[in-house]
Amino acid sequence: MTITFEDEYGRDWPFSPEELAVQVAEACLDYENCPYEAQVNILLTGNEEIRQMNRQFRNIDRETDVLSFPMGEYPAPGDFSAIEEDADSFDPETGELLLGDIVLSGDRILSQAQEYGHSVRREFAFLIAHSMLHLMGYDHIEPEEAETMESRQRKILDLLDIKR
């Protein structure tokens, strides 16, 4: 797995965000039985920067905790069966599946950890798992989709022993 991690937020964390991102992303791919090595780009930024991106790409003028930009489309969430048919889904140099981009708000990670009463590490890991599932075709618009996604997030974090 290749993760390109950029930290423009510039804060000292009580853990290595890049190492934790790799750990959670790999756990997500394993949990979903992804048959490919994959690439993900992760940007850690602040509220104002993520607000600008949210406005630009989603026409929503407010900050958010995480944005996910999937590169591929799936016949069903986590279904990698048709991905090989699209050569653009793979990096021609490495052969890795191009999953997409994740943008995280460091400000929201800190505030939500406090709001939800758990560690900053847990909030960061949760948002990576959440976004990785989006990159693999999951969503939470409908109640049954949300239930499926929440269950997967919880199971992945439990496998990593990252508790609330």
| Binding-site sequence positions for Zn(2+) | 130, 134, 140
- CB atoms < 10 A from the CB of 115, how many? 10
Measured distance CA(23)–CA(19) in Å, rounded: 6
DSSP code string of 95-143: --EEEEEEEEEHHHHHHHHHHHTS-HHHHHHHHHHHHHHHHTT---SSH
Q: CA 84, CA 28: separation in Å to the nearest integer?
A: 20
**Residue in the block written with tokens 């979903």:** 32
Which positions make up the binding site?
Answer: 130, 134, 140
